[in-house]
Chains A and B, each alone.
Chain A
Amino acid sequence: MDATGEEPAVVLDGVTKTYRLGEPIDALSSVSLSVPNGSYTAIMGPSGSGKSTLMNLVGCLDRPTDGRVLVDGRDVGALSERDRTALRGRTVGFVFQTFNLMPRLSALENVSLPLVFQGVSRRKRRERAGELLSRVGLGERTDHRPNQLSGGQRQRVAIARALVADPAIVLADEPTGNLDTGTGDEVLELFCELHGEGRTIVVVTHERDVAEHAERIVHVLDGEIEGIETLGAHRPVGTET
């Protein structure tokens, strides 16, 4: 907790992540970063700079080789696998560049999947998943399977799934990478809305344009934070600079 009594959503403290395949590669080296509660952060950097590695750590999918990662005040590296999974399920919503939807499940079932593992009843799951699909504008497509949806629709299903457990933190790794500008904008608008609701948003992107919707941009290079850029007013979606 800091002096204001407001605890940051995520704290990275001297985090190093080393991959050992043959000779060790430091995907991240001694990275420290604090992501305040309710903030909107963009992460930019060239390919291979360690952005996805960083997101996996923040998303409690992975543990640091060295240093500490605190999510919602809890030390991810010190948690058991079981507690880490539970923290991930309840606190973090993850949106992937490649959607990562279950091919055999319908949109509604995909969205309700996280609740299955939290022991929510079937009726409540369907209700909640239906609400979220309507919210992302897919209320009419609940029974479609991923291969019956367009790229933008799939990404919206993935966002609905990330939100179904009402997470405080929403992480997105290249959420617009596979989308055209129009559908990309719709997705970004959704993130702005979520930010407006007080959620903490972290988006990885290599497009400056996308990054500028955030309150600040963290530049990553070769596994290190190169600089943090604070943006002024929140730019509405769709307006070109």
Chain B
Amino acid sequence: MSLRAIRSHPLRSALTTLGVLIGVAAVISLVILGASLQAEVIDEVGGEDATQIYLWNAPEDAQGPPGSGARAVFTESDIDELRGINGVEGVAPYAPIGVDSLGHGGDTVAGGDTIATDPSYFAEEAIAEGRAFEQGEPEIVLTPQAAEGFDEEPAVGDQVTITFDDGSEAELTVVGILDSSEARSPFDGFGEGSRLYVPTEPYSRTTTESVGDEQRVYAQVVVSAEGPETVESVGVDLEEYLETESDAATLLPGGFVFEIQTNEELLEQVNDLLATLTGFITGIALISLLVGSIGIANVMLVSVTERTREIGIMKTVGAQNRDVLQLFLTEAAILGLLGAAAGALVGFAGGYIATQFIELPFVAPLEWAIIAVCVGIFVGIVAGLYPAWSAARTDPIDALRYE
């Protein structure tokens, strides 16, 4: 009978559930985003990444992802010094360079992200085909996604023509294709991408003459420790060197500080971010569920008034107060359930689209669908309590007199 009442006012019922629908949809899509982000970070922090230390600089108190706002202060001689620190396996400067386009076999595509770095940036097992480039050689390593950008996919050994944003061109040999297009460090950003990697010698062109001879200078550096257990001590030594003897300390602009971050810290940061996000989600959820429950309560009150006569009839033929209460609570619960179920669907769709859009892996926390449905029923029942109670209290004689 509750269902029949809902079906007899489809538009009104649909509008009623809108509040709950929007709330649940917002919460679920945000939860999916959060879970997907977390999955991505955990994925990256796993394995080899656990030994990596990211080094950059930023204005004091700056907020932002690793590497943002960094100035080129780490010189080639700093990099050499860092390589000498006990427990360091490799040091890879990281320098995005401007590339207009990339040509292969008569086909030209936009440059994508091109990074000048050191072969130690790649773990051996990360190269699916070929090898890492060598310093000083005209060689290039591509992510699979970069290779797929061409009609005719470049293979190991092929020549590609790279056009820098100053208009100069260079012929490079493809020496390696990576095993995945995933970001290899937080400097790469998140997710899959079309990325090109070339050696810093000769392609990184930012230099300084302020300290000693003219030499290359970098804004970001990836240091690999020999093992996860040495990460901490390397971090301490690194910081000490940078603060005291480095060229970087001389070059660092006023108000800037060194940022040294391990993956563990990065994970913590993401977790902090997620905690903030969770607070935000809870806020949205509460507000929209409140709005939703007011909507349901309102429609239920109208519905009770409208059906005063029917309530009277039911009571004259022997309906107890609790029967009437149950009837209206069921109706409210169904409204809440419908809103939550539709909201869950919309939320999952929204979360999926959002994760595809920002290229995160899609993680669907299914338990949230169940939570949403339970919350929907709960909100419906809470919202329906007063209207149902006032229906149950209706005096049959008064109700039958009601026109």
Q: In whole angstroms, how far apart are the Cα atoms of A118 and B317 in the complex?
A: 10
User: Which B residues touch A88, using CB under 8 A?
Assistant: 316, 318
Interface residues of B in 1-57 (CB under 8 A from A): 1, 4-5, 8
Q: Which of B8, B310, B316 meets A94, CB within 8 Å?
A: B316
Complex Cα spacing A225 to B125, Å: 105
Q: Are A61 and B316 in contact, CB atoms less than 8 angstroms apart? A: yes
- Shortest B395–chain A CB gap in Å is 9
Per the bound structure, the CA–CA distance linking A89 and B400 in Å amounts to 17
Given that A102-B313, A104-B4, A104-B8 are contacting pairs, would A85 and B319 also be in contact in the complex, using a CB cutoff of 8 Å? yes
Q: Is the CB of B4 within 8 A of A100?
A: no
> Main SS of chain B's interface residues?
helix
- How many chain A residues touch B (CB < 8 A): the figure is 26
What's the least CB distance linking A86 to chain B, in Å? 7
Number of A-B contacts (CB under 8 A): 57
B179-214 Cβ-contact flags toward A at 8 Å (1 or 0)? 000000000000000000000000000000000000
The docked-state distance in angstroms from the alpha carbon of A114 to that of B320 is: 11
Q: A81 and B316 in contact (CB under 8 A), knowing A62-B397, A100-B400, A104-B8?
A: no
With A102-B310, A104-B8 known as contacts, the answer to whether A82 contacts B320 (CB < 8 A) is yes
Q: Kindly provide the distance from the CB of B209 to the nearest chain A CB, expressed in whole angstroms.
A: 89
CB <8 Å contact, A89 and B313: no
Cβ-defined contact, B4 with A85, below 8 A: no
Q: A100-B313, A100-B316 are in contact. Are A117 and B400 (CB under 8 A)?
A: no
Residues facing A in B294-329 (CB within 8 A) are 309-310, 312-321, 323
Chain A residues with CB under 8 A of B317? 89, 94, 113-114, 117, 161
A117 touches B318 (CB 8 A): yes
Nearest opposing residue in chain A for B393, CB measure: A81
A56 to B316, CA, bound (A): 10
B396 within 8 A of A: yes
Partner of A96 from B1, B5, B319, B400 at Cβ < 8 Å: B400
B323 near A117: Cβ-Cβ < 8 Å: yes
List B contacts of A161 (CB < 8 A).
Answer: 317
Interface hits, A51-70 → B, CB 8 Å: 56, 59, 61-62
Distance to closest chain B CB from A111 (angstroms):
10
Report A-chain residues with C-beta under 8 Å of the C-beta of B320.
Answer: 82, 85-86, 117
Question: What number of B residues sit within 8 Å (CB to CB) of A?
Answer: 20
B318 pairs with A118, CB closer than 8 A: yes
Picked from A56, A85, A101, A103, the residue with its CB within 8 Å of the CB of B318 is A85
| Cβ–Cβ < 8 Å partners of B316 in chain A | 59, 61, 88, 94, 100
| A86 contacts across to B, CB distance below 8 A | 318, 320
What CA separation (Å) do A94 and B314 show in the bound complex? 12
**Cβ of B91 to closest chain A Cβ, rounded Å:** 78
A residues less than 8 Å from B396 (CB atoms): 61
Closest A residue by C-beta to B322: A82
B5 near A85 with CB under 8 A, answer: no
> What is the distance, in angstroms, from B167's C-beta to the closest C-beta of chain A?
78
List, in ascending order, chain A residues with CB within 8 A of B8's CB.
Answer: 104
Q: Which residues of A contact B314 (CB under 8 A)?
A: 102, 113, 117
Output the nearest chain A residue to B317 by Cβ-Cβ distance. Answer: A114
- C-beta contact mask, B65-105 vs A, less than 8 Å → 1, else 0? 00000000000000000000000000000000000000000
Please report the C-alpha to C-alpha distance between residue A86 and residue B313 in the assembled complex, in whole angstroms. 15
Please name the residue on chain B nearest to A100 by beta carbon.
Answer: B313
Nearest CB in chain A: distance from B70 CB, A: 69
Q: How far is the CA of A103 from the CA of B307 in the complex (A)?
A: 10
Chain B neighbourhood of A103, CB < 8 A: 310
User: With A and B bound together, what is the CA distance between A89 and B309 in angstroms?
Assistant: 18
From A91, which residue of chain B is reached at the shortest CB distance?
B318
Structural contact, A165 and B318, CB atoms closer than 8 A:
yes
Q: Which residues from chain B contact A96 at a C-beta distance below 8 Å?
A: 400
Cα of A129 to Cα of B99 in the assembled complex, Å: 83
A126 at interface by CB-CB < 8 Å: no
Q: Is A90 touching B397 in the complex (CB atoms < 8 A)?
A: no
Tell me, in angstroms, the Cα distance from A104 to B313 when the chains sit together. 13
- B-side contacts of A118, CB under 8 Å: 318
Query: A227 CA to B396 CA in the complex, in Å?
Result: 30
A9 to chain B, nearest CB (A): 18
Complex CA–CA separation, A81 to B317 (angstroms): 14
**Which residues on B sit within 8 Å (CB–CB) of A114?**
317-318
Closest 8 CB pairs of A and B: A89-B318, A114-B317, A117-B318, A117-B319, A100-B313, A114-B318, A85-B320, A117-B323
Q: List 11 A-B contacts (CB under 8 A).
A: A59-B316, A61-B316, A81-B321, A82-B321, A85-B318, A86-B320, A89-B317, A102-B310, A104-B5, A104-B8, A117-B323
Given contacts A88-B318, A102-B314, 12 further A-B contacts (CB under 8 A): A59-B316, A61-B396, A82-B320, A85-B318, A85-B321, A86-B318, A86-B320, A89-B319, A94-B317, A96-B400, A114-B318, A116-B319
Residues of A within 8 A of B (CB): 56, 59, 61-62, 81-82, 85-86, 88-90, 94, 96, 100-105, 113-114, 116-118, 161, 165
